[in-house]
């Protein structure tokens, strides 16, 4: 097999199992990802054309832009669900002045 990487290992501290052969492979550390998995997405032709045009114009891959968009969406969605969870837990609020003080934003 030579230098070809093996299947991605489970993340430490999780019960996850390594992927089935072919699902993901270890890659050299680029940024923060060392294990890459493939996802297939069906896009309307108009979106795919816009994505292709952007990738060609900027010299970046379509995968780069899909990954960036997905990360931003996931961050927003996780923040939303965290906010809903906090609201439903009925924790006491923090006055604006106290929040500004904690964050060092007071004048």
pLDDT tens string 70-101: 999 999 999 999 989 988 998 888 899 999 99
Secondary structure of the chain as H, E, C letters: CCCCCCECCCCCCCCCCCCCCCCEEEEEEECCEEEEECCCCCCCHHHHHHHHHHHHHHCCCHHHHHHHHHHHHHHHHHHHHHHHHHHHCCCCCCCHHHHHHHCCCCC
Segments of the chain with pLDDT less than 70: 1-34
Give pLDDT, residue 59: 97
Look up the pTM and report it: 0.57
């Amino acid at each position: 097999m030579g230098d070809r990487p093996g299947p991605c290992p489970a993340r430490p501290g999780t019960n996850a199992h390594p992927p089935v052969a072919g699902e993901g492979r270890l890659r050299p550390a680029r940024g923060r990802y060392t294990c890459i998995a493939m996802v297939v997405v069906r896009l309307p032709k108009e979106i795919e054309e816009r994505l292709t045009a952007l990738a060609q114009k900027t010299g970046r891959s379509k995968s780069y832009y899909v990954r960036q968009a997905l990360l931003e969406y996931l961050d927003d969605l996780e923040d939303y669900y965290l906010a809903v969870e906090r609201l439903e837990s009925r924790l006491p609020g923090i006055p604006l002045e106290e929040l500004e003080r904690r964050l060092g934003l007071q004048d």
